[in-house]
Amino acid sequence: MAKIALITGATSGIGAACADTFAAQGYDLILVARRENLLDTQAQQLNEKYGVKIKKLIADVRDKENINYVLDTLPGEWKNVDVLVNNAGLSQGLDPIDKGDTNDWDTMIDTNVKGLLYVTKVVSGWMVERKHGHIINIGSIAGKEVYPNGNVYCATKHAVDALSKGMRIDLLPHNIKVTQINPGMVETEFSIVRFKGDENRAKKVYDGLEPLIAQDIADAIWYVVSRPAHVNINDMLIMPTAQATGTIVKRD
């Protein structure tokens, strides 16, 4: 059987680019996301383009019982996951702490932190049994610094940063690599989701500069995954040339 990559948040942006990149390298894929129609189309296209096998898991990573169920009920050979890309995540809102929406906070914490943990617990268990695997956590520049009004989103990505370090320590005896990839501004659906469908406001985030595209991040992930067995890249911060920090950017 081919190698297997499990990618969460595969229907859009960085996750979709990863799915294409791993399929192009001959990996079979387990793709996790909530939007069934997008996942169906994507799986069909990747299968036609690359001839790889694909398992679609229509699931919300926040739903612990369901995530456990859909992963547990995968056929045995699909549990030989070589690479887990913990990518599903989002930001909701951009407000000072006293004005933030507590439902948005719950959504971010539940998705970016707890959802990542639920998936990792199950999949790292399979990897520990095989003494083999590579976990890629998608962090952010927001996990390395804090910017105005980023409060809770930044906190979730700082939590991912701590979890990546913790996983690397705990999984060391089991020969499992842990890498964190931290992007700066990548033009995906991210800002549309952050601003709850306000496409004009989302577009303005990237006005006058060239942001990263999702494929830039997928390329970096593939670089990391394709290093020799004795090499692990712990942490990578990838910014557009026009972005120096979370907030300092050069616009035309």
Q: Which residues bind ligand 8X3 (CB under 6 A)?
A: 140-142, 185, 246
Give the closest residue to 86 by CA, choosing from 118, 42, 125.
Answer: 118
Q: How far apart are CA 117 and CA 121, in angstroms?
A: 6
- By DSSP bridging, strand 83-86 and strand 133-138 are parallel
H-assigned helices in 25-147: 36-50, 64-72, 102-108, 116-130
Q: Does 204 bind ligand NDP (CB under 6 A)?
A: no
| Those residues with Cβ within 8 angstroms of residue 90's Cβ, 6 or more apart along the chain or in another chain | 107, 108, 111, 112, 190, 193, 194
Q: Does 186 bind ligand NDP (CB under 6 A)?
A: yes
Q: Does 13 bind ligand NDP (CB under 6 A)?
A: yes
Find the binder of ligand NDP among 136, 188, 218, 224 (CB under 6 A): 188
Nearer to ligand 8X3, 171 or 202 (CB): 202
Give the closest residue to 115 by CA, choosing from 17, 235, 218, 34.
Answer: 34
Q: Do residues 56 and 31 lie in contact, with contact meaning Cβ atoms separated by under 8 Å?
A: yes
Nearer to ligand NDP, 4 or 57 (CB): 57
Output the smallest distance, CB 201 to ligand 8X3, in A.
Answer: 13
Q: Does 11 bind ligand NDP (CB under 6 A)?
A: yes
The neighbouring-strand residues paired with 30 are 6, 55
Catalytic residue among 27, 118, 153, 206: 153
246 binds, among ligand NDP, ligand 8X3, none (CB under 5 to 8 A by kind): ligand 8X3
Q: Does 240 bind ligand NDP (CB under 6 A)?
A: no
**Binding mask of the shown chain, residues 47 to 66, with x at each position contacting ligand NDP by CB under 6 A:** -------------xxx----
Q: How far apart are CA 206 and CA 191, in angstroms?
A: 10
- Residue 206: active-site member: no
Instruction: State both tokens at 153.
Output: 């989103």
Q: Does 111 bind ligand NDP (CB under 6 A)?
A: yes
The DSSP call for residue 207 is: T
Could you list the residues that contact ligand NDP (CB under 6 A)?
8-15, 32-35, 38, 60-62, 87-90, 111, 115, 138, 140, 183, 185-186, 188-190, 193, 214
Q: Which residues are catalytic?
A: 153
